[in-house]
Amino acid sequence: MAMTLGELADHLGASLDGDPTHNITRCAGIESATSDELTFLANARYRSHLDTTKAGAVLIKPGIERPEGLATLTCDDPYFAFRNAVIALQGTRVHPEPLDGDDAGRSSRAAIHDTATIGEGTRVHPFAVVERGATIGRNCHLYPGVWVGPEATIGDDCILFPNSVVHDSCVLGDRVTLHSGTVVGNDGFGYATHAGEHHKIPQHGIVVIEDDVELGGNCVVERAAMGETRIGRGTKFADLISIGHGTTIGPHCLLVSLVGVAGSVKMGHHVVLGGQVGVAGHLEVGDCVQALAQSGIVTDIESGTAIGGAPAISADTAKRNALAGTNLADLFRRVKKLERAASKSAGE
């Protein structure tokens, strides 16, 4: 839907400098936006783009100087305001109705056990399977190939994209999203090595995914051997992430692609792990920890710490080490030259 800049300013709680009657139809990036599109500038390093953008208006922070004639919407958090503008102008993802769905939105080609409970408004697509005793809440979407195991529980407004899996007795809260290929509750990696052979330890625990969690494609959250593996409310995963059995991840964490967390880790709230971070087992990672990409966490990390490197150290030191290591060959030659000079001097 189209909105005028005046309407957008009111909706976003922003201060408008420009023509309040100008129509905006969509949102776009600052380099590609056109006169009927809204964009944003959240980082002052990209201030120069304001001089060349063709956008109809730009969301900016207070204190950013704007070129003459460029309409701006000023607010404290332009990126979040841009998110809200996208929803207002373009809505959210629309989920299709199941092929050959009945009046309740359930495909005749889905397999739903007689003892399963499915809430009102839930859509079940072809070739989804809901096993005995499973409970699905209201207004969910189960796409083709989804498997919900026996006695599993899924809350309201959940989205399970194609080929995602919730194993037996695992629990998903409300508004949980599992992207394609993600598995919740497969067996943990637990073996007892005896006489040179690895003997499987039965994994009798479960996984609990709290409200408002989103797991990207091809993620795996292992069930605990005993007790539970838990992902805290509001936490978001990118793709290709593995969480070991018995681990607890706190609320509102962000894990970027290719993160691996071993078993029995306790992670606090608002932790951010960059791409390819690895966390060894049985550690405690405090609240609000930030780990740079490819960090290797092998010891407990205190709350509020920024870390990097492998093994992980303070982020500032890790960055200095990385810069120092960009020309080790030249440093090696200089050291050898000094050694030869010192040896020659000593001989004289």
Rg from Cα positions in the chain: 26
259/296 Cα distance (integer angstroms) = 10
The β-bridge relationship of strands 177-178 and 15-17 is unpaired
Q: Which of 260, 251, 256 is nearest to 231 (CA)?
A: 251
* 245 catalytic per annotation: yes
Q: On the CB side of 262, how many CA atoms lie within 13 Å of its CA?
A: 12
Bridge-based pairing state of the strands 284-285 and 306-308: unpaired
Q: Which residues pair with 306 in a beta bridge?
A: 290
The dihedral of CA 334, 338, 343, 348: what is its sign?
positive
Report d(CA 214, CA 231) in Å as an integer.
Answer: 10
In the 8-state DSSP scheme, what is residue 70? -
- Residue 52 CA to residue 70 CA, distance in Å, equals 10
**CA distances (Å), 116 to each of 123, 149, 157, in order?**
14, 10, 17
Contact 134, 116 (CB under 8 A): yes
Query: Looking at 125, 167, 179, 245, which residue is catalytic?
Result: 245
> What DSSP state is assigned to residue 322?
H
User: What phi and psi values does residue 206 have, to the nearest 5 degrees?
Assistant: -135, 180
The two structure tokens encoding residue 244: 């070991």
Tell me which residues are annotated as active site. Answer: 245
